Amino acid sequence: MSELVWVCVSLWNANPILIGAYYHPRHGSCSDLDDLEHALDQLMSWMKKNSKTSLVIACDFSVGDIDWKALAVKPQSCKNSTCEIIAKAY
C-alpha cells in the first residue's frame, strides 16, 4: 500500500510552497501508482491556476518498472506515463 501526503505552506509576504511526500513499497503493485498518478493530475491543474507556487516532492520510489541506473522506464512497465514522470523528476 502506497502513502501520499500533501501540505501547502503559506508564509507572510512570500509565495506558497506545496510539499508532497510519497512512499511506494518495494513490492507494490501497479495499482499502487494510481494514487500518485491521480494526485499528479490534480497537481498539474492546481499549479496552472497557482503558477507562483513552488513545489517540492520527497519520495521513496521503489518502483520496479524503472531502471534506476539508466533512469529509463522498462519496456514491460504497467504505468508507463507515471513512471516516465518519476524517472524524469529524479
Average pLDDT over residues 18-38: 75
What percent of the chain is modeled with pLDDT above 90? 1
Prediction pTM value: 0.64
- Terminus-to-terminus CA distance in the chain, angstroms? 22
pLDDT score at 89: 66
The pair phi, psi for residue 13, each rounded to 5°, is 65, 30
Is residue 73 a contact partner of residue 66, using CB atoms and an 8 Å limit?
yes
pLDDT score at 41: 82
What is residue 72's DSSP assignment?
E
pLDDT score at 57: 78
pLDDT tens digits along 57-79:
777 666 677 777 887 888 877 77
pLDDT at 20 exceeding the cut of 80: yes
Domain boundary assignment for the chain: 3-89
